[in-house]
Amino acid sequence: MSELPMIAYTTESGERRRVRYERVPGRPWQAERHVDRWDGRTWVPCGGESLTELVIEGEHRSAVTVSEGP
């Protein structure tokens, strides 16, 4: 199973943020996006959402391999 990306960046105002993509526990076919900000000591969650589609580098990603039935 491939890992989903995490992207860290600094805004124009100098605030550090990161975006994490994670699979939903117990529902590996679903993904969520979480945004965190750096408070000087640790990453603090500041938002998130469920994704209906996840495309990385132009490729649709899924947590499990989808195959046809028998």
Strand runs labelled E in 1-70: 6-10, 16-24, 27-38, 43-51, 55-56, 59-60
Express each pLDDT in 29-59 by its tens digit: 788 999 999 999 999 999 999 887 777 778 7
CA-CA distance, 15 to 36, in Å (whole number)? 11
* pLDDT over 80 at 19, yes or no: yes
**pTM to 2 decimal places:** 0.69
Q: For residue 12, is it left (φ>0), alpha (ψ between -120 and 50) or beta?
A: alpha
